[in-house]
Amino acid sequence: MLRTFPAVPAGDGVTRQVLSEAPELMVVAFTFEAGGEGALHSHPHVQSTYVHAGRFRFSLDGESFEVGPGDSFVIPSEAEHGCVCLEAGQLIDTFTPRRDDFL
């Protein structure tokens, strides 16, 4: 069944839109203005992040790195992570299992 989810605010300069979901998997688009931040946090879900557009500085368990269009990486369960958007863009995140808090 096709279901459409609205884009919702997810912090200063950030919106979040669930693209698809099932109990085992969720795909979410995060759209950032330059300077927008994803605050440091952790969760039990494994997360895969793909940079669709823009440039970002990520922190992952105390290590810092920059990513741009076409880059992707995996964030393990319970790893502390966050980002700052250096150039406006969009991240496509996949979570397993689904993030029920986003529904």
How confident is the model over 39-69, as pLDDT tens digits? 999 999 999 999 999 999 999 999 999 999 9
- Classify residue 32: in a domain, yes or no: yes
Contact 81, 42 (CB under 8 A): yes
Contact 51, 89 (CB under 8 A): yes
The pLDDT of residue 78 is 98
- Classify residue 10: in a domain, yes or no: no
Residue 50 CB coordination number (10 Å): 16
CATH number of the domain within which 31 lies: 2.60.120.10
- Classify residue 33: in a domain, yes or no: yes
Q: Domain residues for 43?
A: 15-90
- Average pLDDT of the chain to the nearest whole number: 97
Q: What is the pTM of this model?
A: 0.96
- Name the percent of the chain lying above pLDDT 90: 97
- Classify residue 50: in a domain, yes or no: yes
The pLDDT of residue 2 is 80
- Classify residue 71: in a domain, yes or no: yes
DSSP assignment, residue 9? E
Q: Mean pLDDT over residues 2-20, rounded? A: 95
- Classify residue 3: in a domain, yes or no: no
**1 pLDDT more than 80:** no
- Classify residue 95: in a domain, yes or no: no
Residue type, 72: S
**85 pLDDT more than 90:** yes
- Classify residue 61: in a domain, yes or no: yes
Contact 31, 14 (CB under 8 A): yes
Counting the structural domains of the chain, the total is 1
